[in-house]
Amino acid sequence: MSRVTLSRYLIEQTRSHNTPADLRFLIEVVARACKEISHAVSKGALGGVLGSMDTENVQGEVQKKLDVLSNEILLEANEWGGHLAAMASEEMDKAYQIPGRYPKGAYLLLFDPLDGSSNIDVNVSVGTIFSVLRCPDDCFSQNDALAERAFLQPGYRQVAAGYALYGPQTTLVLTLGEGVKGFTLDRELGSFVLTHEHMQVPPSTSEFAVNMSNQRHWEPPVTRYVSELLAGADGPLGKNYNMRWIASMVADVHRILTRGGLFMYPRDAREPDKAGKLRLMYEANPMAFIVEQAGGAATTGTQRILDVQPEALHQRVPVFLGSKEEVERVTGYHNQA
């Protein structure tokens, strides 16, 4: 049987599900940018791309050279095609307006260009996360405030979301709102090939992912839940749990899409808004959309992530996502508190 490339999959989607041609083009352009980022990541020290810049991003985090390079690759790939009205990135303070010399399109693209960047210099998996929204009618203005407002749509309005994982293989995982497909980069062909037709998160699991070193800063429902996980078969949950923490959300979520599990980045008392580390628009929303489309669940502990009304582009939210049973359990503990 002939192999289904990402291009063929998208063309067939256009025919059978009326996926608009400009959305198809957008996904192809993002995938091409991810191939370029994958290439830069894989060169490592040979490409002179390891290490930090002298700059910080809007969240006050030191930027790695590859964070900045990946951001530029995504901006340059997407600005000229006429499919976007604006872009927003975890690495940029403000929304990026499409330069006046190019036509504007119907979509908004948001991305975390290189997630898990603390892993870059140690040769551990990192990834790109992206989310696509439709642009409301008034967002064609050059006004920054108006452009930023256009992005502040709840996650259930996403029309597409995905991530590329730069690991032992480069994989692209994509949802257009009708299930989740996984593609593996065939480096000889230079194409993403459909390898995971129907990605599913099993409803129950005995594996969880959390940064345990933050335990003393969590809220009581999370402390209670994690102590029950650690109590194993002798505790109230009656089974033993295994733990994994890669510190790259893309890699942790990919494991959950492959064999199930629960990912947590809870509220943290040290932060001004106590919202945890992860960003709603660039990390929580696209991952929640993918996980729900694969039959899993995603909440902030108190609310479905996709229902959160964003108030700011760089807003943070607590994240609990993965196998339904465990997400529901930890959300239930929050709601009892």
Interface with Mg ion by CB under 5 A: which residues? 112, 115
End-to-end CA distance of the chain: 54
Residue 117 marked ligand-binding: yes
Ordered strands of the 84-89 beta sheet = 96-97, 84-89, 107-115, 126-134, 160-166, 170-175, 180-186, 191-196
Residue 219 marked ligand-binding: no
Residue 114 marked ligand-binding: yes
> Diameter of the chain by CA atoms?
66
Helices (H) and strands (E) in the chain, counts: 8, 15
Indicate which single residue of 254, 255, 277, 316 sits in contact with ligand AHM (rule: CB under 6 A). Answer: 277
Closer residue to ligand AHM (CB): 98 or 110: 110
Total residues belonging to the chain = 337
Closest distance of CB 62 from ligand AHM, Å: 10
Residue 262: beta bridge partners? Answer: 208, 322
Q: At residue 49, what are phi and psi to the nearest 5 degrees?
A: -110, 0
Closest distance of CB 54 from Mg ion, Å: 20
Asked if 117 is part of the footprint of ligand AHM (rule: CB under 6 A), the reply reads yes
Indicate which single residue of 89, 205, 248, 299 sits in contact with ligand AHM (rule: CB under 6 A). Answer: 248
Q: Which amino acid is present at 95?
A: A
Indicate which single residue of 123, 141, 142, 211 sits in contact with ligand AHM (rule: CB under 6 A). Answer: 211
Q: Which residue is nearest to ligand AHM (CB)?
A: 249
> How many residues form the binding site for ligand AHM (CB under 6 A)?
12
Gap between the Cα atoms of 223 and 232, Å rounded:
15
- CB-based contacts of 278, cutoff 8 Å, min separation 6: 249, 265, 284, 316, 317, 318, 319
Gap between the Cα atoms of 37 and 16, Å rounded:
31
Segment contacting ligand AHM (CB under 6 A): 100-108, 159-167, 245-253, 307-315? 245-253
Indicate which single residue of 9, 37, 106, 116 sits in contact with ligand AHM (rule: CB under 6 A). Answer: 116
Asked if 55 is part of the footprint of ligand AHM (rule: CB under 6 A), the reply reads no
Binding residues for Mg(2+): 90, 112, 114-115, 283
Report the interface residues with ligand AHM, using CB under 6 A: 61, 90, 112, 115-118, 211, 247-249, 277
